[in-house]
Amino acid sequence: MNKCILQIWEESERGWGVRPDGCTIHINEKIRLDYIDGVYRHRDSKDIPDEYDRPIGTPIECFVSDGLYEKISQVGSIRLYEYEKNNLLKMEDIVVR
């Protein structure tokens, strides 16, 4: 198992409310911050979109399987939909202690 950083995300949609929106997993804190900066850099701060996602809570130290770590290390971060995150947690490819 390899140490990484997991960030939970949620989605807001006008008229529908807020719902879980999976997570991102990052090799380190700098890459996590760069990823979040990249998400916000492309948004117009004057207009609130009808639908958008945002990180919630503090980053979580996690451990990932060797196969998953290999994929993450190639690009620095990966984005997982809610069902992907839940499946990988159940299969213990992601472990949060």
**Domain that includes residue 16, residue range:** 2-96
Q: Is the dihedral of CA 28, 30, 36, 42 positive or negative?
A: negative
Token output for 59: 């980053």
Q: Answer whether residue 45 shows pLDDT above 80.
A: no
Q: Are 64 and 94 in contact (CB under 8 A)?
A: yes
Section 2-24 average pLDDT: 96
How far apart are the C-alpha atoms of 34 and 85, rounded to whole Å?
Answer: 21
Report how many domains make up the chain. Answer: 1
The pTM for the full model equals: 0.92
> Which pLDDT does position 31 carry in this prediction?
98
pLDDT cut 90: percent of the chain above it: 86
**In this structure, what are the phi and psi dihedrals at residue 12, rounded to the nearest 5 degrees?**
-110, 135
